[in-house]
Each structure stands twice: as structure tokens, then as C-alpha cells.
A and B are shown apart, each in its own frame.
Chain A
Amino acid sequence: MSGAPAPHTAPAGPVGPVAWPSALQPKVAEALSHYPNRRSAVLPLLWIAQREWGWLPPEVLRLVARTVELPDAEVFGVATFYTMFNLKPVGKYHLQVCMTLSCSLMGADRLFQHLSGRLGIGHGETTPDGRFTLRRVECLAACGGGPCLQVNEEKFHENLDEAAVDRLLERLP
């Protein structure tokens, strides 16, 4: 594993109060409309915010707190409770390697070591060019196709080995 954590070049968080971009406001209103009280919308709003800003800087958490009328600290607690909210900037491609039983038996550890060696980053770190963030995660519910890897929120890649991962990395734009 590489030594010092790589400095990330991903965008730093906004400074000073932020507001919902106007394009997002219908989404925010819709999320709020699903529940009888505002505080229930905290998770959907955190998701909307994470998709918009890529991660959840403190100012964005304050924005969510203002929107759902919860104390700032409580929203911060919620965001840290769930591991899929990023409280630090992540790279363009967020590689999440499943480490739970099926994948582990099929060589997830080896796969992670390979990725780590190739990218020069460890768990939770980002490459200096801001392209990749590597993370071990718990079960991705693709146990039939282990070892498996998820890129960002959308893409699953199953039945991987070192060669397949290398091909995958090269394919990413």
C-alpha cells in the first residue's frame, strides 16, 4: 500500500452559505412533499445534494439542515451514520470493492490489493489527478457474481479478476 495519503485535487467545498440551484428546486420540493413533516426528507435531500456537489461539504449539510428545519449537528450525525455519504471529496470514479463473504471468498482482497497497487492509493484515498477514489464496502448484493465492484452510483461490474479490472480502468473515459 502506498505511504502518505495522496492529496486530492477534487473541488474543495463551497465557502459561505450555499443555496439549492434553481434546477434542483423542483426535486427538493418533491422530496419534501413525500412526507408529512419536513425532517423526514433529510435522507432524500442528502442524496440530491451529494449528486449535485459530488460530496457533502459542511456548508451543504447546513443547507440541508435549514431546508428540513433540523439542527445542523443532527444532519451531520445522519450523514456520518451512513457510509455511502461522502464527507470528503471523491474522485471522478468512485471504485467500491465489495468485501463481504461471497466476494471475499472469490478473491476480493486480491482485487483490492491489485487496484491499490495500480492506482497507488489505499482505502478511502483519492489519486492525485482526482480521477479515482478507492474504497472497501460491505455487501453490494451481487453475491452471485463476486468479486464485484461498483463504479460511482450506477455501474456494477461482476466476476472480476485483475485483468478484467485493468481492462475496466482503461475503458473509463
Chain B
Amino acid sequence: MSAKVRVTINGRTVEVPAGTLVTDAARAAEVHIPVFCSHAKLPPLGACRICLVEIGLPRKDRDGKPVLGADGGPEIAWNPKPQTGCTTPVSEGMVVATDSPVAVKARKGTMEFLLVNHPLDCPVCDEGGECQLQDLAFAFGADFSRMSDAKRTFVSENLGPVVKKEANRCIVCMRCVRYCDEIMGEDALTPHRRGVRTEISSFDRQPLDCEQCGNCVEVCPVGALTALPYRFKARPWDLRQHITICPWCSNGCSVRLGVRGTEILRARGTERRGVNQEYLCVRGRFGYGFVNDAARLTGALVRPPGAAGAGNALEPASFEEAVAHAAARLREIAARDGADAIAFLGGEKLGLEEQYLFQKLARAVLGTNHVDSRTRLVAPLPGTAFLKATGGGRPSISLDELGRTKEVLVLGDDLQGESPFLQAVLLRGQHQQGVHLTVAHPRRVKLARARFGGVWLGLAPGSELALLNGLTRAALDLGDPLPAPSGGPPPAEVAAGLPALRTALAAWTPERAAQATGVPAAAIVAAARRLREAPSRAIVFGRAYAEHAQAAALLQAVENLGWATGALTAGRSCVLYAGPHSGTQGALDMGLAPDVLPGYVPLADAAARAPFEKQWNAKLGAAPGLTAPEILAAAAAGRVKALWIVGDEWVRSAPDRALVEQALARAELVIVSDLFLTETARRAHVVFPAVSFAEKEGVLVDCERRLQRTARALAPRRGAKSDGEIFQAVARALGAAWSYRTNEDVFREIARLVPGYEGLSWATLLPLGPQWASEPARVAASLRPAADERPAAGEGLWLLSGGVLFQQGSLGHRIELLTRLAGAACARFHPDEWKRLGLTAGDAVLLEGPGGSLTLPVAVDESVPPGAVFVPYAHRDVELNRLGSPGGAGLRVKASKAGIAQRTGV
């Protein structure tokens, strides 16, 4: 794209793209220029002046020709003053000196200025030992101070539960303020006053009202901002650092765990590494406490056979006894009722290799196809549904490129709660790359705020399908699906389905869509036009659609929209599914779904099945098994008699609480492997103690389908086994000849066998693995009318639910800081609804759904639309599945005032 220029730095000549900054060119020339205020993700500022260098350009005569010096080379006109390297772009023939007397003196002078008021408290400063100011003062500064006056002092403050501010140490580089503004979109920090009295703090020195991500602490080059949870815990040299992948969502951020002894003391981002490059959200940065939780399981538990009943408690057993017991019972049930009486659930939090072994255990060893990782599904979905909606495995774009697309449509998810890094990518893109955001969500979520310049399509709850159909129709009105930039037409299936889709969508005029959704017709047409006509575009959806009662129709509608707008065809565009867990994509890839084998190989296809049968030395059933919601129903009805639930709090994640209780009570054998004795584990017959993400190595596949290695930071908790070991032990007890020594052995088998993963090895996944892609697509595309005419169950208010930033899953409840930040779970109402129900602050409300009821404290919230109630699902006290399973377009509940607030749930 841009032309290359030659620049000479300290005598080394390098060729870099025009417009590169001097500091970056110096990195290419392997010359070190110190920086404080400059940051790879932020635009240049030039605040700290430590990067002063001497810069010269070739002298030109009147005709613009370079003047030649005595030695025949071009004569250099040195700028009389040193310039900041971090703000000066290079140009052809530029000469830079970082070691000339002028540059050295300038740097030394700047360092002296920076240290004028900096306290000499490095021994008690948490940054000491990894402080850039300390390092550079050591490298460039004087060993004494000429300043004899008293230093100016500020009072230290706790800015909320995460950030400790010691303004005396601040060098006013503005990194924190800019990061908070441009990447987090929070603007929680600001400089107060000016000149030497400048101090970074919050509005009126209040505790920070923000995402509490701690990225300000991360980017602070000195010890002015430090993390309270890590305060005085250790010095940097105490810590062994292990870079692994964060377990909290599907974005796949690299996280650097600092371990002292057997304890994780902190988690940090990794500068210039991983998809996230230093960014971490509050969960990733402070959500590691469960690893060292004292309540972790340290041994297997078995419920003695025979005497079924309430008095029959789980008893500690050796791992071998538990394995033998589980295998014997599985064999017994398989012999008596057939393998179809056994079902395998969960696995979205496992590594790729363990997911592979889990379904291999089910299919090859036991012979059942009842395998599903998607325990939260409300309605059955084929295992290929998500891949199909996101392009069938065709090459996609990375999260980094997503931040440079021009138009992004976010469907249904509050990314702040579900995928915080994805939100940061989009906010940064909006701020720095001109990304335009369109957010279709019933609530005005953070991304839809006016200051981010996007458009909020505030659709009525339950009208998601109508909006998608309206958008697709409006996009198709602008023309047929676009060809790929390489000139190739869209797949034949797309062209084939087009006429039928057009006919079906003929009724979905913008006006009708507007009537159904409450979004103005003009806004729908404009959004479709922006998507179709932008040079690059992306559509993002997540669990809100996946766990919708109309998921099948919605995913088809997303795919229709993807083809109609070109998000699935055109270059630099994509449709992205941001799943809920770190292993969601991997579980789908590894065939943790009842109808597909690893690599989305359909079970029904005998030829495609053959390599698996050969490798696994087993005959595989061709008939698809049951999906998670079907397994739930079958177990509750007593048809499925044995369940193996791995890493999943099924009692909470299944869509219907009454049904799941019944299923667990009726099942003859429930095997649970988990870190803790969860509610589900309490109802099990065999409990295996599993290890956490920090205690095992393997591969995770993130939402952009990127494979990344995870590393082992700790030895496994005594008594706990990795899930892979557990599966292998049971498989061997059942007579299978498994002999994997490590997860790497398993990955070799995957790379040999699974389409899309060919040729990969652990060695190719460092430092950042590739995004797997498959051409031709793993799953054929289709354009098909998407409709679902079932009415919503119940009457009354629409129940809106969603993730919140500070809680996710049952592990989040184990982390004191996150629980405290999340606060009490409240049912949130629009002011109108609040008035109609006659609520006052401190009240509680009774929500009655088709399956049961919940009592919750209330809060007023203008972002919730009238006619709905918002309840976050991740809080410990909220067990939304007690309300029953949503039907049709969503769940409706009756709300009534229920006196004063009290805690509910278990």
C-alpha cells in the first residue's frame, strides 16, 4: 500500500513504510528509543519527551536536488533541536541519532525533569522491579539529584476496589486517561488541575464508576496506578510468569499468570502478544481466585450402590475406585438398556483435546451419539448451525481486522457482559478507525450509547426474527448477493435459494418490519444499506440468539442477512459467533453435538465416517443422537438413564429447573467432573475432581476460530485429575486401548483425522496459532426463508436477560472481588413499568413464569424498554431457569410487588 522509505538510525539503514514513526522504525533497526507516553494501541501524543532524538534530513538545493557533501554522500541538515521520536514520521533519507551528544543530553535532562518530583520509594512500590521509569533512570539518569526543594505531594487514594492511585509517582504520560477513553470507552479518568500540580483522578475523586478492568494499571509505566488486589502481594522477581489463555469467554485473550509457590497472585495482559495485546477485562484480570480456592475437590466421590435414597451420601473414594465404579455402572446400563440410555453433556470449558476424547469416549467406547456441549440450548439445533451461519468454515477475518471493518452490526448481545474484549475492539475501532456501529438490542447497551456515534435499533423484545427478515429484505432490494472481491460468485446454493427467499420476504416490507419491531422503517432500510454498501462489514451475534427459543430460525436468518449484505462473501467482512465459553468453538469443532463427528463430518455419511471408524477401531452409529434439550426431556422421562456431565453446572444451565431436577433424580447414574462440588455434583453418583485451566496444557479455539496453546502454570491440585486423564481412565476400564501420554498425543490424532485441522501441530500454535479455515466450506450454505410462528409462552412482561460484566458462570461466584463488584441481582424496570407496578426503592418483585417463580429486589433502569423486565442471569442468587423454559419468541412473566427485598434462590 504505502511507499517504502529508507531511514538511517545510528548508522543502520532500514526500509520502512512511509508514515512509520521514528520509534517504530528504530525498533525495526534494532535501536532502542525509550518511551513512556507512546503506546502501540494509542495515537502519538509526545507528552513525556523521553524519546527525544536528533533528526536530520538531506539538504536540498533550490531545484530540490540533494546537496552532496565532501564524502560524496548527501549532506545532512540536522534539526537544531532534538525532536520526539514517537510523534515524528520518517521520510526518505532521514537520519536519526539516538547516541549523539545532543540526544544523550536531552534524554538525561528529560529524565531529570521526570524525577524532580518522583518519590524515592521504589522499595515499597508495587511497580518496583518492572518499572519503566526505574529501568530508564538506571540506564540514562544521573545517580544524584540537583533538586533540593521539597517535592510536591498528593494524597494517595483508592479509586474503587481495583485501582490504587499514588499521584506522587505519576509522570503525566496520559496513557491511562487515553486508554480509558479510546479503548474502554469509559472516560473514568481525567487530569485535574495543571502544570506541576496535574493529578490524574476521577470525577470529584469519587470511586471509579467504570468497568474496573484495571487496564489503566496495566498501561501505567510507573507505580502511580497499582492494582489493589495485588497490593504488596509479591515483587516481580518472585513470580514465575506463564502465558496462557483466559478461561472467561470465547475471545481467547492471552493472559500472563504470575505464580509464587503454588498460588496465582495476579494476571496481566501480554504486551504485543496474543489477540488482545495487553487488554484484559475485569474477569480476566481478577478472576483467577477459584484456582486456589480451598473448596476445590481433592478426591473422587462415589455414592454407594444399592441403597438409593436420601440418606445415601457421597463418600470419598480413591480415583481408581471411582473409575472402576463408573465403568462398571456404565457397562451395566449399556448392557441392560442399550448405549442409547447413556448421554454425555457439557464440555464447553474443556480444552480441544479433552473435548475430542469426551465424544470419542461416548461414540467409540460406549456407542452412544447422545453428546451435546450446548447445555443451555432451549430448542434443538444441528451441530453445524453456528458454523453454517458464520460461513461454513470459509476463511474469516481476525478480531484485529474486525476493528477495521467499516460497518458492524451487533445482534442481540450486550458485549460488555458477554465478550468484553470484542467490545473493546469495536470501541477502539470506532474511535481510531472510523468503525460505524449498529446495535440491535432491546436495551440501550453500552455500545449503543450516543457518544459512540452508532445507531441503536431498539427492537421490541421477541421481534428479533422480524428485524432480521426486514433487514434481509431491505438488503436484497438493493441487489443480489455480492460476488467475492476475487471475482468468484457466491456459492451456487445461495443463488439457488434466492428466488424462494425473495418470495418469502416479499411480505417483510420495511413498514411491516417496523410495525413488528418498533424500529422506524427508515432506520431498518438505512442499516441494511450501510451494511451492504460499506467497503467492509461484520455481523456479530452470540448467546442471546443461540439460547433463543427460535434459535434455528434466527441462525438461518443471520445467514440470509450475511449473504444478502455480503458479510459472508466480500473480503474483509465476516459473520462472527461470540460464544459464551473459552471452549465453545472447540466443542463444536470436536463434534460435541449429536449429529456430527469432529470437523463437522455428518454421522449419516458412511464414506466420511469411515476414517473415524478405522482410527477408533469401532463401528459408529449413523443415526444422530439427541440434542441437549432432548436429552433433558428424555432423562426426565426416564428414557436416558446415565448422564455424564463435564464442567457444567447443569442445574443452572439447563433451560428448565423443574425438568433438570427431575432428570437428575430419575437418572440411575450421574457422573460429574468438575472443580467444585457444584449443585449438579451434589446430585451425582460419581464425582471426579477436575483441574482448572491453569493446571493443564492444551489448545483452545476462540470465537474467530483461532487455535491457541494454553500453558500449565501450576502443578495440579493434589488429588485432582485433568479431564483427559479421567476420560482415558474410564475408557481403559471399559476395555478401550487408549494410550495417550499427553494432550499433545491427542492433538496429533486430531490433526491426522479431523478435516480443517490437517497439518497442525502444537509447535505451529506458538505464539499465536492460525485461524482454521476450510475451502471448500465444511458446511454448505443455504438461503432459506426463516420463520417461526410459535407464540411466546405466558403473558405479561417480556423477560430480558443477559450477561453482566462482573459475573459469568458458577466459577465467578467463587471470586470475592467479582461478586462484590456485581452487587445484588435486581429485576430492572423502565420508569413507566416501575410506576405501573407501584414499586419503590427497596421493594421486591415476584416474577411468575410458566415453570415457577422468583423473588428479586428491584431497580429502575431507563435502558430497559417498557413492557419488559431485565434480570441478569449470572448472579448466584438468580436461577432464571426456575421460571421455566422460554417458548416461541421468548419468555413472558407476570410481575407483582412482593414486599421488601430478600435473598432468593438456594
**Residues of chain B from 168 to 209 with CB closer than 8 A to chain A in the complex:** 181, 187-194, 202-204
Contact check, A77 vs B190: say whether CB atoms are below 8 A apart: yes
Give which listed residue, A61, A69, A80, contacts B192 with CB less than 8 A.
Answer: A80
Contact check, B187 vs A73: say whether CB atoms are below 8 A apart: yes
Taking the complex as formed, is A47 at the interface, i.e. its CB lies under 8 A from any CB of chain B? Answer: no
Contacts of A77 in B (CB 8 A): 190-192
Total contacting residues, chain A, CB less than 8 A? 12
Contact check, B193 vs A58: say whether CB atoms are below 8 A apart: no
Contacts of A61 in B (CB 8 A): 203-204
Contact check, A58 vs B203: say whether CB atoms are below 8 A apart: yes
Taking the complex as formed, is B124 at the interface, i.e. its CB lies under 8 A from any CB of chain A? Answer: no
Taking the complex as formed, is B1 at the interface, i.e. its CB lies under 8 A from any CB of chain A? Answer: no
Taking the complex as formed, is A35 at the interface, i.e. its CB lies under 8 A from any CB of chain B? Answer: no
Most B Cβ at <10 Å: residue of A62, A72, A77:
A77
Taking the complex as formed, is B451 at the interface, i.e. its CB lies under 8 A from any CB of chain A? Answer: yes
| A79 and chain B: residue at smallest CB distance | B192
Contact check, A76 vs B190: say whether CB atoms are below 8 A apart: yes
Give which listed residue, A58, A74, A80, A81, contacts B187 with CB less than 8 A.
Answer: A74
A76 to chain B, nearest CB (A): 5
| A39 and chain B: residue at smallest CB distance | B451
**Known interface pairs A58-B204, A61-B204. Does A73 touch B190 (Cβ–Cβ under 8 Å)?**
yes
Contacts of A58 in B (CB 8 A): 203-204
Contacts of B202 in A (CB 8 A): 73
Taking the complex as formed, is A71 at the interface, i.e. its CB lies under 8 A from any CB of chain B? Answer: yes
| A87 and chain B: residue at smallest CB distance | B204
Contact check, B194 vs A81: say whether CB atoms are below 8 A apart: yes
Give which listed residue, A71, A72, A73, A81, contacts B193 with CB less than 8 A.
Answer: A81
Taking the complex as formed, is B139 at the interface, i.e. its CB lies under 8 A from any CB of chain A? Answer: no
Against B, the Cβ 8 Å flags (1 = close, 0 = not) of A50-86 are 0000000010011000000101111011001100000
Contact check, A74 vs B451: say whether CB atoms are below 8 A apart: no
Contact check, B203 vs A73: say whether CB atoms are below 8 A apart: yes
Contacts of B451 in A (CB 8 A): 69, 71
Instruction: Report the separation of the CA atoms of residues A77 and B192 in the bound assembly, to the nearest whole angstrom.
Output: 5
| A78 and chain B: residue at smallest CB distance | B190
Instruction: Report the separation of the CA atoms of residues A111 and B450 in the bound assembly, to the nearest whole angstrom.
Output: 52
Contacts of B188 in A (CB 8 A): 71, 73
Contacts of B191 in A (CB 8 A): 77, 81
Instruction: Report the separation of the CA atoms of residues A80 and B189 in the bound assembly, to the nearest whole angstrom.
Output: 13
**Known interface pairs A74-B190, A76-B190, A81-B193. Does A69 touch B204 (Cβ–Cβ under 8 Å)?**
no
| B191 and chain A: residue at smallest CB distance | A77
Contacts of B193 in A (CB 8 A): 80-81
Contact check, B204 vs A76: say whether CB atoms are below 8 A apart: yes
Instruction: Report the separation of the CA atoms of residues A58 and B187 in the bound assembly, to the nearest whole angstrom.
Output: 16
Contact check, A72 vs B203: say whether CB atoms are below 8 A apart: yes
Instruction: Report the separation of the CA atoms of residues A72 and B450 in the bound assembly, to the nearest whole angstrom.
Output: 15
Contact check, A69 vs B187: say whether CB atoms are below 8 A apart: no
A54 to chain B, nearest CB (A): 18
Instruction: Report the separation of the CA atoms of residues A76 and B189 in the bound assembly, to the nearest whole angstrom.
Output: 10
Contacts of A76 in B (CB 8 A): 190, 192, 203-204
| A72 and chain B: residue at smallest CB distance | B203
A110 to chain B, nearest CB (A): 25
Instruction: Report the separation of the CA atoms of residues A58 and B189 in the bound assembly, to the nearest whole angstrom.
Output: 15
Instruction: Report the separation of the CA atoms of residues A77 and B172 in the bound assembly, to the nearest whole angstrom.
Output: 14
Contacts of B187 in A (CB 8 A): 71-74
Contacts of A80 in B (CB 8 A): 192-194
Contacts of B204 in A (CB 8 A): 58, 61, 76
Against B, the Cβ 8 Å flags (1 = close, 0 = not) of A5-48 are 00000000000000000000000000000000000000000000
Instruction: Report the separation of the CA atoms of residues A72 and B190 in the bound assembly, to the nearest whole angstrom.
Output: 9
Instruction: Report the separation of the CA atoms of residues A61 and B203 in the bound assembly, to the nearest whole angstrom.
Output: 9
Contacts of B450 in A (CB 8 A): 69
Contacts of A72 in B (CB 8 A): 187, 203
**Residues of chain B from 202 to 260 with CB closer than 8 A to chain A in the complex:** 202-204
B207 to chain A, nearest CB (A): 12
Instruction: Report the separation of the CA atoms of residues A108 and B191 in the bound assembly, to the nearest whole angstrom.
Output: 31
**Residues of chain A from 77 to 120 with CB closer than 8 A to chain B in the complex:** 77, 80-81
**Residues of chain A from 141 to 158 with CB closer than 8 A to chain B in the complex:** none
Contacts of B203 in A (CB 8 A): 58, 61-62, 72-73, 76
Instruction: Report the separation of the CA atoms of residues A69 and B189 in the bound assembly, to the nearest whole angstrom.
Output: 16
**Residues of chain B from 847 to 871 with CB closer than 8 A to chain A in the complex:** none
Contacts of B181 in A (CB 8 A): 71
Instruction: Report the separation of the CA atoms of residues A136 and B181 in the bound assembly, to the nearest whole angstrom.
Output: 35
Contact check, A73 vs B189: say whether CB atoms are below 8 A apart: yes
A-B contact pairs, 19 of them (CB 8 A): A58-B204, A61-B203, A62-B203, A69-B450, A71-B187, A71-B190, A72-B187, A72-B203, A73-B187, A73-B188, A74-B190, A76-B190, A76-B192, A76-B203, A77-B190, A77-B192, A80-B192, A80-B193, A81-B191
Binding site for A on B (CB under 8 A): 181, 187-194, 202-204, 450-451
- Known: A81-B193, A81-B194; 5 extra A-B contacts, CB below 8 A, are A62-B203, A72-B203, A73-B188, A76-B192, A76-B204
Binding site for B on A (CB under 8 A): 58, 61-62, 69, 71-74, 76-77, 80-81
A-B CB proximity, top 8 nearest: A71-B187, A77-B190, A73-B190, A73-B203, A80-B192, A58-B204, A72-B203, A76-B203
